C-alpha cells in the first residue's frame, strides 16, 4: 500500500485543481452571467430555510419565498405568515451551508461599509455564490472520501491508487453528480455525495476501534445523511449489518474486530443517528406537531405499486438509461463477493449489505408517486449512491488490471462514459432534452 499512499497525494492535488477550476467557472458565471442564478428548482425552499434561520431566526418562510419570487418574476405563492411554513424539504442543507453563508454576510457587510451597492438580503449574488462554492467543496470532499473507501475496499488487489481514483472520477463525471455540483448546487444532491461517502468511509473503518464513541460517530454520520435526504437514512443499515452478523467485526473486521458488546454498539449508533437527525425532528415538531413525518402526505409513497422497472430503465430519467455506467458498478459489486481468503470473505458480507441498501433505495424511489423525480437531470435521487458506484467500479478495474488487455479497456471505457454524460448534460442544460 506504500505506492498507493504516495499516489494519494497526487490524486488529492488533482482533485484540488479540479475544484479550483470549477470554482473559477462558477465565479465567471456569477460575474458575467446576466441571468445567472444558483438557486434553481427546489433549491428555493432549501435556501429559504437558510435565509430565514440566519436573518429571522424562525421557520416562517413566507417572506423569503415572496422575496425570491418577486426577484425572479414568478407568481407569488399564498403562504401563511407568522407560523412555521409546512414544506416537504429538509433543513439539513441550510445547516451545512450556514458557515459559508455567514462568511458571505461578513463580506457583504464589509463591502457595504466601503460604499459598495450590494444588498444584504441573503439573495444577492455573494450569498448565492458562497452557497454554490460550499456545495462544491462538500461534494468534492465526498468524492475524496469515496476514493479512500475504494482504496480500502480494493485492498491488496492493487498497489496503487489509480483504480480507485479512476473509479471515483468516473462515478462523479459519468453520473448526475457533477451536474448537481455545478448547475444546481442549491439542491440537496451535491451535499448527499458528502454525507453518504462520509458514512461509507466511517463504516468501512469501524473495525479500527471498538469503543462506543466510534459507533456514535458512525451513527451521527447516518443521521446527517437523513438530515440532508431522509431516504438516505437507509445507509444506517450498513453499520447495523455488523450488529446483525453472528461474529463481531465480521463485516468491518478487515483491520481489526470490534471489542464493544453489540448492545453498547447498537445504542451508540442509534444515539448518534438521533443527534444527527435532531434538527429535522425539531422542525417537523414545530411544523407538523410530531418529530417524524412524511411531509408530502401519506399518498406520496405507493408501497404496493412501485415502478421499479421504470425507475431503472425508463427513458424518462431511468437510472441505467441515463447512467449506464451503473451497470458496470453493479457488475463490480457482484464480483466482490466471489472471494476466498479471510479478509475478502469479510468484504463479501459488506458487499451484501451494500446491494441490499441499493435495492431498498431503488424500491423507495420506485414507490414515490413521481418516481421520475419531476424536473431532473437523470435519476437524481440516486446521486447519494455515488460511493457504492465507486466501490463497484474499483472492483471491476482491479479485476481487469490482472489481464494484459485490461489497461486498454478501463481508461477508454471511463473516458467514453464521461464524455457521453457531458454531452447529455450539455443537451439538458440547453433545453434540447428534458
How does DSSP assign 273-340, residue by residue? HHHHHHHHHHHHHHHHSSSS--TT-GGGB-TTS--HHHHHH-TTT-HHHH-THHHHHHHHHHHHT---
Q: Is the pLDDT of residue 208 over 80?
A: no
Residue 124 burial by Cβ neighbours in a 10 Å radius (0-12, 13-18, 19+) = middle
Give me the helix-helix angle, 162-173 and 386-400, nearest 10°: 140
Confidence of residue 284 (pLDDT cuts 50, 70, 90): very high
Q: Containing H/E element for 429?
A: helix 407-429
How far is it, in rounded angstroms, from Cα 297 to Cα 294? 6
- For residue 370, CA distances in Å to 28, 60, 106, 222, 320 come to 35, 27, 40, 25, 18
Q: Containing H/E element for 265?
A: helix 262-288
pLDDT higher at 258 or 71: 71
- For residue 402, CA distances in Å to 134, 334, 345, 399, 410 come to 40, 18, 20, 6, 12
pLDDT higher at 301 or 249: 301
Q: What local confidence, expressed as pLDDT, does residue 346 receive?
A: 67
Angle at 21 between CA 20 and CA 25, to 5 degrees: 115
- DSSP class of residue 371? T
For 194, residues 6+ apart whose C-beta sits below 8 A from its C-beta are 96, 138, 139, 141, 142, 145
Nearest to 259 by CA among 218, 222, 212: 212
CB of 247 closer than 8 Å to CB of 207 = no
- Helix, coil or strand: residue 368: strand
Mean pLDDT computed over 117-136: 96
pTM summary value: 0.94
Mean pLDDT computed over 364-388: 96
Q: What is the pLDDT of residues 411-421, one digit of tens each?
A: 899 999 999 99
- DSSP class of residue 195? H
Percent of the chain scoring above 90 in pLDDT:
74
CB of 174 closer than 8 Å to CB of 414 = yes
Percent of the chain scoring above 70 in pLDDT:
90
CB of 181 closer than 8 Å to CB of 21 = no
Give the cell for residue 251. Answer: 463485516
Residue 6 burial by Cβ neighbours in a 10 Å radius (0-12, 13-18, 19+) = exposed
How far is it, in rounded angstroms, from Cα 41 to Cα 205? 37
The values of phi and psi at residue 301, to 5°, are -105, 115
pLDDT higher at 262 or 286: 286
CB of 129 closer than 8 Å to CB of 185 = no
What region, left, alpha or beta, does residue 192 occupy, with left being phi > 0 and alpha being psi -120 to 50 degrees?
alpha
Q: Is the pLDDT of residue 257 over 80?
A: no
Q: Is the pLDDT of residue 67 over 70?
A: yes
Q: Is the pLDDT of residue 85 over 70?
A: yes
Give the cell for residue 371. Answer: 418516481
What is the maximum span of the chain, computed from C-alpha positions, in angstroms? 69
Mean pLDDT computed over 147-163: 79
- For residue 229, CA distances in Å to 193, 225, 311 come to 11, 6, 18
CB of 293 closer than 8 Å to CB of 91 = no
Amino acid at each position: 500500500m506504500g505506492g498507493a499512499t504516495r499516489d494519494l497525494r497526487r490524486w488529492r492535488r488533482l482533485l484540488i485543481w479540479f475544484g479550483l477550476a470549477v470554482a473559477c467557472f462558477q465565479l465567471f458565471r456569477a460575474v458575467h452571467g446576466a441571468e445567472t442564478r444558483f438557486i434553481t428548482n427546489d433549491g428555493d425552499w432549501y435556501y429559504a430555510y437558510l435565509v430565514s434561520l440566519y436573518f429571522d431566526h424562525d421557520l416562517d418562510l413566507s417572506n423569503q419565498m415572496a422575496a425570491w419570487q418577486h426577484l425572479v418574476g414568478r407568481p407569488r405563492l399564498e403562504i401563511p405568515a407568522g407560523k412555521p411554513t409546512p414544506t416537504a424539504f429538509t433543513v439539513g442543507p441550510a445547516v451545512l451551508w450556514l458557515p459559508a453563508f455567514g462568511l458571505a454576510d461578513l463580506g457583504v457587510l464589509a463591502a457595504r461599509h466601503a460604499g459598495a451597492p450590494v444588498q444584504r438580503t441573503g439573495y444577492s449574488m455573494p450569498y448565492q455564490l458562497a452557497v454554490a462554492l460550499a456545495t462544491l467543496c462538500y461534494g468534492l470532499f465526498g468524492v475524496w472520501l469515496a476514493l479512500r473507501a475504494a482504496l480500502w475496499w480494493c485492498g491488496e488487489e492493487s498497489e496503487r491508487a489509480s483504480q480507485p481514483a479512476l473509479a471515483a472520477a468516473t462515478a462523479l463525471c459519468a453520473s448526475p453528480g457533477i451536474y448537481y455540483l455545478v448547475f444546481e448546487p442549491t439542491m440537496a444532491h451535491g451535499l448527499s455525495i458528502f454525507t453518504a461517502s462520509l458514512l461509507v468511509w466511517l463504516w468501512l473503518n469501524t473495525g479500527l476501534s471498538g469503543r462506543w464513541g466510534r459507533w456514535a460517530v458512525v451513527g451521527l454520520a447516518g443521521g446527517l445523511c437523513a438530515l440532508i435526504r431522509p431516504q438516505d437514512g437507509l445507509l444506517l443499515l450498513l453499520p447495523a449489518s455488523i450488529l446483525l452478523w453472528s461474529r463481531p467485526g465480521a463485516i468491518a473486521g478487515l483491520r481489526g474486530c470490534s471489542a464493544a458488546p453489540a448492545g453498547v454498539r447498537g445504542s451508540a449508533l442509534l444515539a448518534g443517528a438521533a443527534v444527527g437527525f435532531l434538527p429535522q425532528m425539531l422542525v417537523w415538531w414545530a411544523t407538523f406537531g410530531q418529530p417524524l413525518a412524511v411531509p408530502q402526505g401519506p399518498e406520496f409513497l405507493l408501497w404496493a405499486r412501485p415502478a421499479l422497472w421504470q425507475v431503472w430503465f425508463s427513458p424518462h430519467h431511468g437510472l441505467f438509461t441515463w447512467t449506464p455506467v451503473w451497470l458496470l458498478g453493479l457488475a463490480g459489486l457482484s464480483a466482490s463477493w466471489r472471494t476466498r481468503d479471510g479478509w475478502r470473505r469479510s468484504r463479501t458480507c459488506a458487499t451484501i449489505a451494500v446491494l441490499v441498501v441499493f435495492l431498498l433505495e431503488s424500491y423507495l424511489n420506485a414507490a414515490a408517486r413521481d418516481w421520475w423525480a419531476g424536473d431532473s437531470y437523470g435519476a437524481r435521487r440516486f446521486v447519494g449512491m455515488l460511493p457504492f458506484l465507486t466501490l463497484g467500479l474499483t472492483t471491476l478495474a482491479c479485476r481487469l488490471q490482472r489481464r494484459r488487455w485490461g489497461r486498454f479497456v478501463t481508461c477508454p471505457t471511463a473516458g467514453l462514459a464521461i464524455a457521453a454524460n457531458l454531452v447529455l448534460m450539455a443537451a439538458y442544460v440547453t433545453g434540447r432534452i428534458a
